[in-house]
């Protein structure tokens, strides 16, 4: 049954991917009406997340951000499918590499530095991997959660690997990093997902008590790799640029949580700068801190 549904959907997905951008965004506007006005997809969740994150903003301001976010979300959905057929030239036109970011990655490559990249669900993170792989000398590995549906997982892998990016299932991360340490590579983590509360590092993020994954920090300490923070800024509709800065370098001290705090604060700053391009429908604060857990994970 799963295969039948996938087989029916696949031609429509490819049809979407070959549409010109102008037509794609007209379709996105139609999707917005359906998702926001007709279905009301997670509107309450998005508003509640915004209200708690920006307590000083008026309800009118929050509604404005929420509407802008849903326009962005519909665009992101269709832009992701566009990855199936987009050309290299068009990819780099719509998601460029900032000059300073390019220089940073070139310098790290000249030094033969393996690196860890950390980022959030901000801007078009799907396109960021394509742009990096097309512009940089490092072999990019992206940590991901395989989908339960093997057919859609295969489609996801095809989209993310078209331009040379490779994927690593989350449970194989450390083993694969050790195996690949002989090559010049970059391993990318999207670090703003919701970990199990008892194993998380707890900190204030967007005015709220928040559990944060410590995988980036722990692996950087084990592998002794520099960490680069990457953000994908939206310039205008359909156009983004990838920015990067060196967050920290080894040797790392024993200050538990320092790296985790650093990249989470960077993401928080980015979100405040462009509120509508973060994933507000995600139930980021569904967990509460266990009574026996402070800021330091167990």
DSSP H helical ranges for 55-113: 59-82, 88-94, 99-110
Q: Which residues pair with 187 in a beta bridge?
A: 116, 141
Q: With 0.85 as the threshold, say if the pTM is over it.
A: yes
Q: What is the DSSP code (8-state) at residue 14?
A: H
d(CA 210, CA 194): 9
Query: Per the structure block, which two tokens stand in for 231?
Result: 């953000």
Question: What are the pLDDT tens digits along the chain (298 aa)?
Answer: 777 788 888 898 999 999 999 999 999 999 999 999 999 999 999 999 999 999 999 999 999 999 999 999 999 999 999 999 999 999 999 999 999 999 999 999 999 999 999 999 999 999 999 999 999 999 999 999 999 989 989 999 999 999 999 999 999 999 999 999 999 999 999 999 888 898 899 999 999 999 999 999 999 999 999 999 999 999 999 999 999 999 999 999 888 999 999 999 999 999 999 999 999 999 999 988 987 665 655 4
pLDDT given for residue 115 in this prediction: 98
Compute the distance between CA of residue 250 and CA of residue 220 in angstroms, rounded to an integer: 8
Structure tokens at 259: 């790296």
Helix (H, G, I), strand (E, B) or coil at 169: strand
Domain ranges of the chain: 1-85, 91-278
CB 185 within 8 A of CB 241: no
- 92's CB contacts (< 8 A; 6+ apart) are 131, 134, 135
Let me know how long the chain is. 298
Would you say 118 and 229 are in contact if contact means Cβ atoms under 8 Å apart? Answer: yes
Question: How far is it, in rounded angstroms, from Cα 168 to Cα 62?
Answer: 37
DSSP state for residue 189 in the 8-state scheme: E
């Amino acid at each position: 049954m799963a295969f039948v549904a996938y087989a029916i959907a696949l031609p429509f997905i490819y049809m979407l991917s070959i549409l010109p951008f102008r037509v794609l965004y007209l379709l996105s506007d139609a999707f917005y009406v359906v998702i926001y006005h007709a279905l009301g997809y997670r509107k309450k969740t998005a508003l509640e997340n915004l209200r708690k994150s920006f307590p000083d903003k008026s309800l009118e301001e929050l509604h404005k951000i929420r509407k802008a976010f849903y326009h962005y979300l519909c665009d992101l959905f269709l832009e992701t499918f566009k990855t199936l057929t987009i050309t290299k030239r068009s990819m780099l036109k719509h998601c460029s590499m900032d000059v300073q970011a390019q220089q940073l990655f070139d310098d790290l490559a000249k030094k033969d530095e393996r690196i860890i990249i950390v980022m959030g669900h901000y801007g078009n993170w799907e396109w960021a991997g394509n742009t990096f792989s097309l512009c940089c000398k490092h072999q990019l590995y992206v940590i991901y959660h395989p989908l339960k549906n093997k057919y859609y997982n295969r489609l996801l892998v095809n989209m993310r690997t078209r331009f040379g990016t490779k994927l690593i299932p989350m449970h194989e991360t450390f083993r694969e990093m050790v195996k690949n340490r002989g090559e010049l590579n970059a391993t990318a983590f999207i670090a703003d997902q919701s970990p199990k509360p008892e194993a998380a590092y707890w900190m204030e993020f967007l005015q709220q008590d928040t559990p944060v994954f410590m995988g980036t920090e722990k692996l950087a300490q084990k592998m002794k790799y520099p960490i680069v923070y990457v953000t994908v800024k939206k310039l205008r509709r359909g156009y983004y640029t990838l920015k990067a800065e060196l967050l920290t370098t080894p040797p790392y001290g024993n200050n538990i949580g320092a790296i985790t705090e650093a990249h989470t604060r960077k993401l928080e700053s980015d979100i405040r700068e462009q509120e509508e391009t973060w994933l507000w429908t995600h139930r980021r604060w569904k967990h509460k801190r266990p009574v026996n857990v402070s800021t330091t994970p167990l």
